[in-house]
């Protein structure tokens, strides 16, 4: 069943963001705004959410999903970052860039590129996306919404 939540784009309502986060925690799929476009999002460990995103977007198993992280510390739990990459990521975040980096063992196997063992990571610069990831307390599994 689809639900629509009207979230203020500059000052998101805490209660509404909490309700959306609860929807995600209960294996729901959401469409949310980012600093570059809209995206589909679900809980990191949600097998059903991943399958629904793949079905909606008609994706194969080589598609790089993106982990939308709250901050650089959270990003570091899920990808390996050396000094040179650290500088590039630090300079471009928060922002609309997604970096495809080698994943750590914290990332579920089904999210990784089958041969490269990489995953996309991003720290958004959008107030609503930041509030949602902050409320969840974990990264949001995401893919761009292209219809």
Domains by residue range for the chain, with CATH: 14-144 (3.90.870.10)
Indicate the pLDDT class of residue 22, thresholds 50, 70 and 90. very high
Least confident of 10-24, 41-55, 99-113: 99-113
Work out whether strand 118-122 and strand 66-68 pair parallel, antiparallel, or are unpaired: parallel
Q: How far apart are the first and last CA of the chain?
A: 20
Q: What is the mean pLDDT of residues 9-24?
A: 91
Query: What are 42-66's pLDDT values in tens digits?
Result: 998 889 999 999 999 998 877 888 9
**Alpha-helix residue ranges (DSSP H) falling in 1-147:** 14-25, 47-57, 72-78, 83-92, 127-136
Measured distance CA(108)–CA(135) in Å, rounded: 21
């Amino acid at each position: 069943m689809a639900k629509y939540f009207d979230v203020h784009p500059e000052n998101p309502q805490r209660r509404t963001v909490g309700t959306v986060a609860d929807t995600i925690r209960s294996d729901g799929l959401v469409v949310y705004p980012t600093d570059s476009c809209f995206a589909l999002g679900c809980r990191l460990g949600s097998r059903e959410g991943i399958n629904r995103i793949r079905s909606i977007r008609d994706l194969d198993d080589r598609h790089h999903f993106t982990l939308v992280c709250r901050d650089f510390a959270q990003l570091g739990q899920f990808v390996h970052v050396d000094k040179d990459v650290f500088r590039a990521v630090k300079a471009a975040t928060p922002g609309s860039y997604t970096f495809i980096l080698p994943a750590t063992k914290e990332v579920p196997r089904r999210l990784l590129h089958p041969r490269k063992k990489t995953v996309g990571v991003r720290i958004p610069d959008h107030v609503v996306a930041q509030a949602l990831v902050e409320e969840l307390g974990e990264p949001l599994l995401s893919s761009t919404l292209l219809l």
